[in-house]
């Protein structure tokens, strides 16, 4: 137990020194909910080898109290975690990202909290410490994940309400909520969360529309049934299952070929503010860069169109391919330079309004 205490103290000290941990209630919750109780017997961060608690307990504890996510599921449970091969579909989130979202949530004792994506149960346990377990409802779409979380929470002495439900629908019987906290990323904020949160209530979630960066978003629900807020920082989480982005495929449609003087890396390496601007101009479009040695290809794709732009060293112009109903490279370039004309605003100048019709991204002031 002394080893656990020392490691927990060191984790708390690192998070505080890095500026992640500033609120005493969150600090107390971290100390009250030992993270190792939520780490599987074989710990793996996605890099390096897997560490077994039985054969290497010291390294296992080091991972438990490090600041890395620990992978707990591959391919929705279809692939054995020991293979190390497959899509990451569930994890124990990194402490710094968990603390960042909890501090944005600003939970008070007695707040009624909806936790979307139970996962290992660690965040539900932290929320139980902050609000009281009787006030926390945690929903998880995967029955096996929920079952393991229940065992973890029991070992930790926490008893929030656990439900196997689709978090995109919230859980109306527990409404109205004072706080909604998501541990999975969303491309669109489910309006059910807004409907089920009382006016003045707060929604905090990782926001990943698919174009480059992903973001923390903090929303406040208004009396008119909308929610409004800003993007506060970076957050990387696994996507909500019902909102997963389509993967790149080998598109068969005939493409139009052209060249461009714009280096594809200009868009591909653009900061978060540019990603928000381009994503708002191209809703439903995903952007990802692929490195091949010193070459770089920017891929853009959506339901009806795709494009690639390729950088190669020594070239003065770069090859572009576009297909479908929209010229995605041309639209992305226009959106990027419109962002430049606006003096390259950062992520913190962008916000979002959530209505029954969807999400509406704005710069500086909400668009009426």
Residue with tokens 């191209």: 282
296 Cβ contact partners less than 8 Å away, ≥ 6 residues apart: 264, 265, 268, 289, 290, 310, 311
Residue of 277, 304, 289 whose CA lies nearest to 361: 277
Residue with tokens 């890095």: 18
Residue of 232, 202, 242 whose CA lies nearest to 117: 242
> ω into residue 176 within 30 of 0, thus cis?
yes
Q: Could you give the residue numbers annotated as active site?
A: 93
CA distances from 328 to 253, 271, 278, 321, 338 (A): 14, 19, 10, 10, 15
What tokens were used for 346? 């950062």
What is the maximum span of the chain, computed from C-alpha positions, in angstroms? Answer: 65
SS3 of 198, please? Answer: strand
């Amino acid at each position: 137990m002394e080893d656990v205490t020392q490691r927990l103290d060191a984790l708390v000290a690192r998070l505080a020194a890095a500026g992640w941990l500033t609120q005493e209630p969150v600090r107390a919750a971290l100390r009250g909910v030992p993270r190792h109780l939520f780490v599987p017997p074989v710990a793996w961060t996605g890099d390096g080898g897997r560490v077994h608690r039985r054969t290497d307990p010291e390294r296992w504890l080091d991972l438990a109290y490090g600041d890395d996510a620990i992978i707990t599921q591959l391919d929705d449970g279809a692939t054995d975690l020991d293979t190390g091969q497959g899509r990451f579909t569930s994890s124990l989130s990194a402490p710094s990202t968990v603390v960042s979202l909890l501090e944005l949530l600003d939970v008070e004792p007695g707040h009624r909290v909806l936790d979307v994506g139970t996962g290992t149960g660690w965040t539900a346990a932290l929320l139980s410490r902050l609000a009281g377990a009787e006030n926390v409802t945690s929903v998880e779409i995967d029955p096996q994940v929920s079952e393991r979380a229940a065992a973890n929470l029991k070992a930790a002495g926490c008893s929030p309400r656990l439900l196997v439900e689709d978090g995109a629908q919230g859980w109306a019987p527990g409404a109205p909520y004072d706080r909604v906290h998501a541990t999975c990323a969303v491309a669109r904020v489910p309006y059910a969360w807004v409907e089920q949160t009382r006016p003045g209530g707060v929604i905090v979630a990782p926001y990943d529309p698919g174009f480059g960066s992903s973001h923390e978003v903090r929303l406040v629900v208004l009396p008119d049934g909308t929610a409004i807020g800003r993007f506060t920082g970076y957050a990387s989480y696994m996507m909500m299952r019902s909102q997963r982005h389509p993967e790149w495929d080998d598109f068969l449609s005939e493409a139009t070929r052209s060249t461009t003087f714009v280096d594809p890396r200009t868009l591909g390496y653009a900061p978060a503010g540019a990603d928000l601007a381009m994503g708002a101009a191209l809703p439903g479009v995903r952007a990802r860069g692929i490195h091949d040695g010193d070459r770089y290809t920017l891929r853009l794709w959506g339901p009806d169109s795709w494009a690639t732009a390729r950088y190669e060293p020594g070239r003065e112009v770069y090859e572009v391919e576009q297909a479908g109903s929209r010229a995605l490279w041309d639209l992305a370039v226009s959106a990027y330079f419109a962002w430049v004309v606006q003096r390259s605003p950062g992520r913190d100048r962008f916000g979002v309004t959530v209505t029954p019709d969807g999400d509406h991204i704005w710069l500086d002031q909400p668009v009426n």
